[in-house]
Amino acid sequence: MAINLEDPKKFRPLVSQAHQVAMNMLRPISRKYDKAEHEYPKELDMLAAMIDGLSESGANEGAGAAGVRKAEDGGTKDDGGVKNGANLASVMSIAEMCWGDVGLLLSMPRQGLGNSAIASVANDEQAERFAGVWAGMAITEPGTGSDSANIKTTAVLDGDEYVLNGEKIYVTAGDRADHIVVWATLDRSLGRAAIKSFVVPKGTPGMRVDRLEHKLGIKASDTATIIFENCRVPKENLLGSPEIDTKQGFAGAMATFDNTRPLVAAMAVGCARAALDLTRSLLADAGVTVDHDRPAHLQHAAAAKLLQMEADWEAAHLLMLQAAWMADNRQPNSLEASMAKAKAGRVGSDITLSCVELCGSIGYSEAELLEKWARDSKILDIFEGTQQIQQLIVARRVLGLSSAELK
């Protein structure tokens, strides 16, 4: 199957709509909620209601960060049997929304990364039961760092309930979301294969938000530490199969990342695009024009730098589209998802910081949003697997080595 690099016609209205939302609703309140850290952006309630309405009417597909659908109804096939579905629609619309503001996108009700986890792993009954929830995702723990396989939070079956005990840190939307997808182990002696994810409704006894973090960027988004002490959840809230398959190992849990990493790549692509667009405009105001028909070395140094950044951005953009398109067409995309996340995370941070540098005092001050985009973009190279972890995954896939063989 061949990939067409043009935007699918059926998604162009969605992308245009997302861009208008970013420009007219997110940008105007971006600085306000950057300064008012931990204050809930109430303006998003109306936007979330609009997206819900579009979803119910069937007028949109993948608006906001609704994430990845496991079902086969993600799109219609053309004559060649190629499907452009919810994965592609999601990354395209998320990139546009993050052209407006990454932190506000991450604060959208019912659009959390936990929602993607549910869509990726849940069975049909669970997908229907948890439809419409706002789910954060709790993976990281003190001392585990990037090694998700070293999770210490435990889940012990007691009758018809699992009892969760442990601590989770850096949970995006951990205070605002009404459900949390918690990764825990059924048996630490069995290693990666015993790690499962559980949907825990907010307010469940034994679950409490311990604190909110102060951060470099994405200040509009709340980032929480959550404690679980004898927290009991129905056994039906274990996503997917409760069986421990040592042959499959960690693959079931990691399938979530194959779906969420392109979404994070899209966030970086959108934020970097915002910085490039504004920088080009500011350079033009200063008399520096960028000529795509002339060699870079014959142009102003700032123009040459912008050309190099645009090339880096285009590579990240195409990798993002490829990873999402492969998911829509049911092709294994673990390698491509990590490549997209690694490339977009790195160049997103490089581009936004370089734009600050090119624009000098305007870029460094709060006169424009460039300095904010530079701060916001850094997290996109860290969460959902750091740059170093993505490169390790890519190396394992390319070389055909296991995690035990290449650490």
User: Which token pair is 326?
Assistant: 């492969």
Contacts of 77 (CB under 8 A, 6+ apart): 83
- Can you give the C-alpha Rg of the chain in angstroms? 21
Q: Torsion angle of alpha carbons 320, 321, 322, 323, nearest 10°?
A: 50
Task: Tell me whether strands 135-138 and 179-185 are parallel, antiparallel or unpaired.
Answer: parallel
Name the nearest CA neighbour of 51 among 74, 72, 28, 25.
Answer: 25
Q: Work out the burial of residue 76: count CB atoms within 10 Å of its CB; fewer than 13 is exposed, 13-18 middle, 19 or more buried.
A: exposed
Give the end-to-end CA distance of the chain in Å, rounded to a whole number.
Answer: 34
What is the 8-class DSSP label of residue 293?
T
Whole-angstrom distance, CA of residue 95 vs CA of residue 19: 9
Q: What is the DSSP string of 28-68?
A: HHHHHHHHSTT---THHHHHHHHHHHHHHHT--SS-TT---
Three-state SS letters, 236-278 = HHECCCCCCCCCCCCHHHHHHHHHHHHHHHHHHHHHHHHHHHH
The answer to whether residues 193 and 151 touch, using CB atoms and an 8 Å cutoff, is no
Whole-angstrom distance, CA of residue 254 vs CA of residue 258: 7
Name the nearest CA neighbour of 314 among 376, 264, 269.
Answer: 269
The answer to whether residues 344 and 269 touch, using CB atoms and an 8 Å cutoff, is yes
Cα-flanking dihedrals φ and ψ of residue 404, to 5°? Answer: -75, -30
Active site residues: 384
Largest Cα span, the chain = 74
Q: Looking at the chain, how many residues does it have?
A: 407
Whole-angstrom distance, CA of residue 256 vs CA of residue 333: 12
